[in-house]
Amino acid sequence: MRVSATPLRAAAAAMALGLAATGCVGAGADDSSVLTLGYFPNITHAPALVGVENGTLDEALGEVELATQTFNAGPDAINAVFSGEIDAAFVGPNPAINGWAQSRGEALHVIAGAATQGAGLVARDDIRTVDDLPGKTLSTPMLGGTQDVVLRWFALDRGWEVDTAGGGDLSIVPQENPEIVNAFRAGEIDGAWLPEPHLSRLLAEDDAHLLVDEREVWERTGGQYVTTLLIVNADFLEREPEVVENLLRGHVETVGWMNDNPEEAAEASRVHLEEITGGGLDPELTAAAFDNVLFTVDPVAESLLIKAEQAEAIGLLDPVDLDGIYALDPLNDVLAQAGHEPVAGLEG
């Protein structure tokens, strides 16, 4: 039986830093009868949307109850992992890196991939090239989030100065995803770097076009970049390895079903998004968003290293050693049982 919780509001990033400083991370509730899973109302989190909506994750967990919690952006989810409010979460790569760094490698592990691609920069039609961006105002879902980091790195790579207060050659103003769409319609921003389905929602506006497909900035990985990872509280993994393996079994089954049944998966995602947000999402828009995302349990480990390099370059992350961030043995055990090839972490 699944139990849903209402979405959390934004939590202060200082909470995570304070927890890391005191060592009070990854406490977790010592209750093997419940697994609490966090995820976002994004198409890039569709393996969670579909797995929950179809009951696949619930069924895979057997007698363990599945509880869910939704978030707007990764730093909030990471704080919840730190405090033990949730046991596992679908998050973007940069929040996962930040959580690993802040807890000195103690609070969490990446146990699977979930999605690659599905993000980019949408701009007004009068912004025809990247060179037209200086002097404009762009948004991202949250300061320090995955799309925020790549946009700030993109600006730095072109020699533009930006700051966290919205100043500089290019003004970057973090906002929640629904607010970004409204701000674009009101003429308050000129564009945004967004994940799906918000990317497609913005593209549906009359005065909008895709200025940068994020695949274009990933030459080192042939256009492949991780968008969503599945992480777990490190204490929970140590305490409940069988529960985590069952979660992964449901995740692998969900991703496989989605890739075999993309139309049905898109519809399941749309229905679940309506359930958790209370708002409707056009089926055609949902289908367009699905076409822009590749769903896979492979974490695309090399791209995580590059994400860390980007965050370091823009000053949002101190140099960090990611050795040990992946715990892929449970996933590879599940894949082997299903007759699939293993996936690799940073060790190769």
Residue 174 belongs to domain with CATH number:
3.40.190.10
Query: Is 307 in contact with 149 (CB distance < 8 Å)?
Result: yes
- Is 151 found in the same domain as 22? no
- Looking at the structure of the chain, the number of domains it has is 2
Query: Is 83 in contact with 53 (CB distance < 8 Å)?
Result: no
- Residue that is last in its domain, among 221, 253, 277: 221
- Is 170 found in the same domain as 103? no
pLDDT at 266: 95
- Is 124 found in the same domain as 112? no
Decide if 345 is inside a domain: no
Full-prediction pTM beyond 0.85?
Answer: yes
- Is 174 found in the same domain as 229? no
Distance from C-alpha of 9 to C-alpha of 195, rounded to nearest angstrom: 20
- Is 153 found in the same domain as 100? no
pLDDT at 2: 58
Which residue's entry shows tokens 């949250």? 142
pLDDT at 251: 98
- Is 228 found in the same domain as 113? yes
- Residue that is last in its domain, among 175, 201, 221: 221
- Is 229 found in the same domain as 216? no
- Is 196 found in the same domain as 51? no
DSSP annotation string for 221-236: GTT--EEEEEEEEHHH
Q: Where are the alpha helices (DSSP H) in 103-240?
A: 146-157, 177-185, 198-203, 234-239
pLDDT at 11: 34
Residues of the chain with pLDDT under 70: 1-31, 348
Decide if 344 is inside a domain: no
Domain range spanning residue 201?
Answer: 119-221
pLDDT tens, residue by residue, 62-114: 999 999 999 987 888 999 999 999 999 999 999 999 999 999 999 999 999 99
- Is 284 found in the same domain as 273? yes
- Residue that is last in its domain, among 176, 194, 221: 221
Question: CA 108, 85, 20 angle in degrees (round to 5)?
Answer: 50
Which residue's entry shows tokens 């060592």? 23
- Is 314 found in the same domain as 176? no
Report in angstroms the alpha-carbon separations of 1 from 36, 53, 69, 326. Answer: 12, 12, 15, 29
- Is 46 found in the same domain as 20? yes
pLDDT tens, residue by residue, 181-195: 999 999 999 999 999
pLDDT at 69: 96
Query: Is 100 in contact with 275 (CB distance < 8 Å)?
Result: no
